[in-house]
Amino acid sequence: MRIRSLNHSVYQLQYHIIWGTKYRRKFIIPVVKQYLLESLYTTIKKYPTLHLFTVNTNRDHVHLQLEAPPSITVASVVQKLKALSSFALCKRFKFIREMYLDKEGIWSVGYFVSSLGLNETQIRRYIEWQDKREVPQTIRTIQTSKQKRFGFE
Q: What was the pLDDT predicted at 118?
A: 61
Task: Please give the full DSSP string across 94-142, using - where no structure is assigned.
Answer: HHHHHHTTTSS-SB-S--EEEEESTTHHHHHHHHHTTTSSS--HHHHTT
Q: Rounded to whole angstroms, how far apart are CA atoms 69 and 14?
A: 9
Contact 35, 89 (CB under 8 A): yes
Which residues does 61 contact at the CB level (< 8 Å), separation at least 6? 18, 19, 20, 21, 24, 28, 152
Q: Has this prediction a pTM greater than 0.85?
A: no
Q: Rounded to whole angstroms, how far apart are CA atoms 95 and 97?
A: 5
Contact 64, 137 (CB under 8 A): no
Contact 150, 63 (CB under 8 A): no
What fold characterizes domain 4-149?
Alpha-Beta Plaits (3.30.70)
Q: What was the pLDDT predicted at 151?
A: 60
For the chain, the structural domain boundaries read: 4-149
Q: What was the pLDDT predicted at 135?
A: 52
Per-residue pLDDT 10s for the chain (153 aa) are 688 888 888 888 999 999 999 999 999 999 999 999 999 999 999 999 999 999 999 999 999 999 999 999 999 999 999 999 999 999 999 999 999 986 788 999 999 999 987 677 777 788 888 877 555 554 445 455 545 555 655
